[in-house]
Chain A
Amino acid sequence: MAQALTHTAPQIGDRPRPAKNYLNETTGIWSWMTTVDHKRIGIMYLVAVSSAFFLGGILALLVRLTLLTPSHKLFGKVLIDADTYNRVFTLHGAIMVFLFIIPSIPGSLANFVLPLMLGAKDVAFPRLNLASFYLWCLGAVTAVASMVFGAVDTGWTFYTPYSTTTQNAVGLMTMAVFILGFSSIFTGLNFIATVHKLRAPGMGFFDMPLFVWGTYATAIIQVLATPVLGITMVLLALERIFNIGIFDPKIGGDPVLFQHFFWFYSHPAVYIMILPGMAIISEIIPTFSRKTIFGYRAIAYSSVALALLGFLVWGHHMFVAGQSQLATVIFSALTFLVAIPSGVKLFNWLATMYKGNISLETPMLYAISFLLLFAIGGLTGIFLGALSTDVHLTDTYFVVAHFHYVMMGGTVIAFIGGVHYWWPKMTGRMYSEKWGRIGCALVFVGFNMTFLTQFFLGSRGMPRRYYNYLDQYQPLHAFSTFGSWVLGLGLFITAAYLLASLRKPADAPDNPWGGTTMEWETVSPPITHNFEGQPVLEHEPYDYRPRVKKHA
């Protein structure tokens, strides 16, 4: 064993950096466009989803800017009129959900890291992986085209009958969502097959890193829920073209049926978004606490439990939409069950940190931010799952604040934390730790300024998606808008120092954080084949006992 350890725990300078790695083995645009290397596809996804995040973020800043004053005037002029406002928030939602959050962690980080964590050379179906990326691109182009050809102002949920009767470009947007759905299905399919068949010798299911467990649970939802969204979008498009009479009440359809169809996908999709975020946190916390994860099996099972429970609670989006009282009560009760696996995770992470040797580097700062923000997001979810309070809070800013705490405070914060955690592995470069901490602090403060305010707005009765509002809400709206600027500044700084790190020569050690999972065993950046030889698993995961020190 000692021999294996000295062989496999290389510190900086231990191992000569190979001249060829996955980034420079072949060169030229064409070698990237036709690559089937999961690492390169992961990088392309990272660039792509970050661009989508940028676009969606600009739209979000526009939404907040519009709401700065009740007259919507800036320097005496109305910047954005009511119709444009509807389009802007619709596009913000559609882009952030379908182009950014859903593909973000699976497409970029999981694509890069999952095969490395399993000790595999690639995902199970490398060409399908590339096809999935190009489907994303096609979907993105279609979605952006809908902006040009008339735009969409239905909200990202495309509720009928408005979406089936309006003249604007709903058709194009539903097509984009359909295409993006298949991109997501193929990613999920690839990961399931990879996890089942490409684990390193000696690695059982319960020896896998928890990131793999989270990604696996996500993949199950991607595969099982997304086809239903696809067919729903087809039905919506056909209702528009042929008036088939399924969703439009004027021709005998049932608009609530659309909501059932839509949320049968889109609620599980919430877990497509949050599970990979939780998966990242399960990696970062033990690494920066220098401690074996507490409750490994509980965390693994809770990921799967969330994936399965996610399929049973879609009705809680329709408490006031005319669903039967019995269904409403059942959906409410099932919704409370979601708190159990979520709580299991949260407490296990805290127990991992307890008496750990915590070092507060940027990824860990993001992980701690996640714990705080996700706790708020999760607990306010209980307000909305409880029938009596939900009736009052439905369609108010309280809901907006709640899902931004889960989606942005949860997933996006975890995503950014994950990008920092694996940045040295992906690029071979260390970023500026000082700017990392400043960026994280600004993001945390800006986020809370923006969205904590919206809980107050919502509980005082400010409805979501409204262009006009009463003067009494102005101070809170203004504060939320100022917060969005701080948040924007934090994200801008983060992008700037990360990109700046690419300009300097490769300086990252193979294992800068002292991580115990397999991706740290290879060089930074990895060679095209990932490992020299086939790595074999010899220890249980997150075993910090043999080597607690990290590089100085």
Chain B
Amino acid sequence: MSTSTVDVNPHDHGGHGDHPSDPHFQHHFTTLEQQFDTTKIGMWIFLATEVLLFGGLFVGFGMMQARYPEMFKEAHEHLQRPLGALNTVVLLFSSWTMVMGVLSARTNQKKKTVVFLIVTILCACIFLGVKYFEYSHKFEEGLLPGHYYHHIGDRIPVVNGANGYATFFSFYFMMTGLHGIHILVGIGLLAWIAFRANKGEFNSDYYTPVDLVGLYWHLVDLIWIYLFPLYYLIS
């Protein structure tokens, strides 16, 4: 593999390309466009790892549901379906505001960008608020994970310590909890880019962070789209 070197500019280590003045441009890329594409690939790969992280829990849930189908069905009746449905709608709406936020950023509409991002944050907060009510209801009823489970009035008797109800709520709290942590991280990220958008840092040439946080936010929504039927709509 013989090579030759092309000195684009001998005083500049390797020619910094088209956007040497952009403050966001990193020296090891040739163009700003290449930098954007690269970070986007990185984000997609990261999202793939997120899918697999949740995937393990989905498989675990499936295995346990196959073990205790009746107990899981009865346990899911303790979940408040209308609240779950409300949260689904809220997150779907927030996905739309996120899309509009990205669109506004790349069309140089600073004010609209900030507004859409703030609405997205509000949706995320509503989601967490609803989740708070749901969780407190479970806490009051003793519908807790593992050996903390102490709900009274279950119809199927527990034999040999195999408590499918406790396992159901273990998975419920693990998966919605992990999803909730992702919502919290999302709020932090959205606040950060809303702040930067407000300072006017984004324009049609550079809106990478908005785009990447958007991708992340859609994945968080998507995971909820799967969690909702998995837990609330067992038949």
Q: Measuring CB to CB, which residues of chain A are less than 8 angstroms from any residue of chain B?
A: 4-5, 7-9, 119-122, 124-126, 128, 185, 188-190, 192-193, 196-198, 200, 207, 209, 223-228, 230-232, 234-235, 238, 241-246, 250-254, 257, 261, 516-518, 521, 529, 531-543, 546-547
**Is the beta-carbon distance between A536 and B6 smaller than 8 angstroms?**
yes
Q: What would 10 A/B residue contacts be, using CB atoms closer than 8 Å? A: A7-B5, A8-B2, A124-B39, A188-B45, A189-B45, A209-B1, A238-B145, A257-B60, A533-B7, A534-B15
Q: In the complex, what residues of A have CB within 8 A of residue B49's CB?
A: 185, 189, 223-224, 226-227
State A531–B30 Cα separation when bound (angstroms): 14
Q: In the complex, what residues of A have CB within 8 A of residue B162's CB?
A: 245, 251-252
Q: In the complex, what residues of A have CB within 8 A of residue B50's CB?
A: 227
| A244 CB contact (under 8 Å) in B3, B39, B53, B167 | B167
B64 at the interface (CB under 8 A from A): yes
**Is the beta-carbon distance between A124 and B42 smaller than 8 angstroms?**
yes
- Please, which residue of chain A has its CB at the minimum distance from the CB of B171? A244
Q: In the complex, what residues of A have CB within 8 A of residue B109's CB?
A: none
7 smallest beta-carbon distances between A and B, as pairs: A252-B162, A242-B146, A244-B170, A231-B56, A121-B28, A4-B4, A227-B52
Taking the closest CB of chain A, its distance from the CB of B9, in whole angstroms, is: 8
Q: How many residues of B contact A (CB 8 A)?
A: 54
- Knowing A235-B60, A533-B7, the reply to whether A243 touches B2 (Cβ < 8 A) is no
Taking the closest CB of chain B, its distance from the CB of A540, in whole angstroms, is: 7
**Is the beta-carbon distance between B160 and A228 smaller than 8 angstroms?**
no
B148 at the interface (CB under 8 A from A): yes
**Is the beta-carbon distance between A197 and B38 smaller than 8 angstroms?**
yes
Q: In the complex, what residues of B have CB within 8 A of residue A537's CB?
A: 1, 3
State A531–B42 Cα separation when bound (angstroms): 25
**Is the beta-carbon distance between B164 and A252 smaller than 8 angstroms?**
yes
State A220–B142 Cα separation when bound (angstroms): 43
Q: In the complex, what residues of A have CB within 8 A of residue B64's CB?
A: 245-246
- Please, which residue of chain A has its CB at the minimum distance from the CB of B38? A197
Q: In the complex, what residues of B have CB within 8 A of residue A231's CB?
A: 53-57
| B163 CB contact (under 8 Å) in A120, A251, A547 | A251
State A245–B68 Cα separation when bound (angstroms): 11
- B126-180 at interface with A (beta carbon < 8 Å): 145-148, 160-164, 166-167, 170-171, 174
State A532–B10 Cα separation when bound (angstroms): 8
B86 at the interface (CB under 8 A from A): no
| A516 CB contact (under 8 Å) in B2, B45, B52, B148 | B2
- Knowing A207-B1, A257-B60, the reply to whether A534 touches B8 (Cβ < 8 A) is yes
**Is the beta-carbon distance between A533 and B170 smaller than 8 angstroms?**
no
**Is the beta-carbon distance between A8 and B1 smaller than 8 angstroms?**
no
- Please, which residue of chain B has its CB at the minimum distance from the CB of A240? B146
Q: In the complex, what residues of B have CB within 8 A of residue A125's CB?
A: 38-39, 42
- Please, which residue of chain A has its CB at the minimum distance from the CB of B167? A245
State A471–B46 Cα separation when bound (angstroms): 54
| B41 CB contact (under 8 Å) in A197, A518, A531, A533 | A197
**Is the beta-carbon distance between B45 and A242 smaller than 8 angstroms?**
no
- Knowing A197-B38, A243-B147, A252-B67, the reply to whether A189 touches B46 (Cβ < 8 A) is yes
B63 at the interface (CB under 8 A from A): yes
- Knowing A5-B2, A227-B49, the reply to whether A254 touches B67 (Cβ < 8 A) is yes
Taking the closest CB of chain B, its distance from the CB of A169, in whole angstroms, is: 21
- Knowing A121-B14, A244-B167, the reply to whether A197 touches B34 (Cβ < 8 A) is yes
Q: In the complex, what residues of A have CB within 8 A of residue B57's CB?
A: 231, 235
**Is the beta-carbon distance between A235 and B5 smaller than 8 angstroms?**
no
Known A192-B41, A226-B49, A246-B64; further 17 A-B contacts with Cβ < 8 A: A8-B3, A120-B28, A193-B42, A224-B52, A227-B52, A227-B55, A232-B56, A242-B170, A244-B166, A245-B164, A245-B166, A250-B161, A252-B161, A252-B163, A261-B56, A534-B15, A547-B2
State A536–B3 Cα separation when bound (angstroms): 6
**Is the beta-carbon distance between B4 and A196 smaller than 8 angstroms?**
no
- Please, which residue of chain B has its CB at the minimum distance from the CB of A233? B56
B13 at the interface (CB under 8 A from A): yes
| B6 CB contact (under 8 Å) in A198, A253, A533, A543 | A533
State A68–B10 Cα separation when bound (angstroms): 64
- Please, which residue of chain A has its CB at the minimum distance from the CB of B60? A246
Q: Measuring CB to CB, which residues of chain B are less than 8 angstroms from any residue of chain A?
A: 1-8, 10, 13-15, 26-30, 34, 37-39, 41-42, 45-46, 48-50, 52-57, 59-60, 63-64, 67-68, 145-148, 160-164, 166-167, 170-171, 174
State A224–B167 Cα separation when bound (angstroms): 27
- Please, which residue of chain A has its CB at the minimum distance from the CB of B3? A535
State A484–B28 Cα separation when bound (angstroms): 46
**Is the beta-carbon distance between B60 and A124 smaller than 8 angstroms?**
no
Q: In the complex, what residues of A have CB within 8 A of residue B160's CB?
A: 252
- Knowing A230-B53, A536-B4, the reply to whether A242 touches B148 (Cβ < 8 A) is yes
Q: In the complex, what residues of A have CB within 8 A of residue B48's CB?
A: 223-224
State A243–B162 Cα separation when bound (angstroms): 11
Taking the closest CB of chain B, its distance from the CB of A313, in whole angstroms, is: 18
**Is the beta-carbon distance between B145 and A244 smaller than 8 angstroms?**
yes
State A189–B44 Cα separation when bound (angstroms): 10
**Is the beta-carbon distance between A192 and B28 smaller than 8 angstroms?**
no
State A518–B174 Cα separation when bound (angstroms): 48
- Residue among A196, A244, A257, A261 having the largest count of chain B Cβ atoms under 10 Å: A244
State A539–B1 Cα separation when bound (angstroms): 5
**Is the beta-carbon distance between A534 and B3 smaller than 8 angstroms?**
no
Q: In the complex, what residues of B have CB within 8 A of residue A196's CB?
A: 38, 41
- Please, which residue of chain A has its CB at the minimum distance from the CB of B2? A539
Q: In the complex, what residues of A have CB within 8 A of residue B29's CB?
A: 198
- Please, which residue of chain B has its CB at the minimum distance from the CB of A194? B38
State A342–B84 Cα separation when bound (angstroms): 50
- Please, which residue of chain A has its CB at the minimum distance from the CB of B170? A244
Q: In the complex, what residues of B have CB within 8 A of residue A543's CB?
A: 1-2
Q: In the complex, what residues of A have CB within 8 A of residue B28's CB?
A: 120-122, 126, 198
State A521–B4 Cα separation when bound (angstroms): 9
State A119–B54 Cα separation when bound (angstroms): 37
State A200–B7 Cα separation when bound (angstroms): 13
Taking the closest CB of chain B, its distance from the CB of A380, in whole angstroms, is: 31
- Please, which residue of chain A has its CB at the minimum distance from the CB of B46? A189
Q: In the complex, what residues of A have CB within 8 A of residue B34's CB?
A: 197-198
- Knowing A189-B46, A244-B166, A532-B13, the reply to whether A4 touches B56 (Cβ < 8 A) is no
State A538–B145 Cα separation when bound (angstroms): 62
**Is the beta-carbon distance between B163 and A124 smaller than 8 angstroms?**
no
- Please, which residue of chain A has its CB at the minimum distance from the CB of B5? A533
